Copies of this chain bind each other. A is one copy, B any other.
């Protein structure tokens, strides 16, 4: 790493450091993907939005493939940050499920574009091994969180004894990502779905 004293934003001189540029490029690319899809992502548009020349863009991110990988990394970073915010130790399965649901609500509210881009990347992962290597582990991690929660909750009596943690996690992540993805899902429908998911897995007294 560079011996940079302050990594933070200097009142920009004409030039920016490479890392900052790459971050700016990733951010611009993400905006464009939200607007026009991965399909509509053009290097020129990114350069224009960042305010640099196409050649400069290629200087920092050599190829378009690398650019898509950069976006994938960027999404992974946000995803990690989001996932690690709330420690879950010492809670019951049901409490942890509620926390997971809260995280979900928070993400839909504060970073709705995250899942849009993620969906596009998952789609591409079917054909692009580089993207697949970055994106698929993210989904596995998310699902794994649910597996752990369900396993714990079955043990502590929060959930049905016959709940299959793996299958439950598939259903939960599948249902959530699907409602998240669709543009025609209202917030109240998300609440309905979350409530129903809870009833689906909880142990009836």
Chain A residues within CB distance 8 Å of chain B: 36-40, 116, 119-120, 122-124, 126-127, 136, 139, 160, 162-164, 166-168, 170-171, 173-179, 181-185, 189, 192-193, 195-197, 199-201, 204
Contacts and interface: CB of A to CB of B under 8 A. Distances in A.
A199 B119 CA distance: 29
A183 B164 CA distance: 21
Contact of A163 (B124, B139, B196): B196
B195 A167 contact: yes
Contacts of A200: 168, 171, 200-201
A174 B179 contact: yes
A178 B179 contact: no
A193 B173 CA distance: 12
B170 A171 contact: no
Nearest to A35: B127
Contacts of A162: 199
Contacts of A182: 122, 139
27 contacts: A37-B126, A38-B39, A39-B39, A116-B126, A122-B181, A126-B183, A139-B182, A160-B199, A162-B199, A163-B196, A163-B199, A166-B189, A166-B192, A167-B195, A167-B196, A168-B196, A170-B175, A170-B178, A170-B185, A170-B196, A171-B175, A174-B174, A174-B176, A174-B179, A174-B193, A177-B178, A200-B201
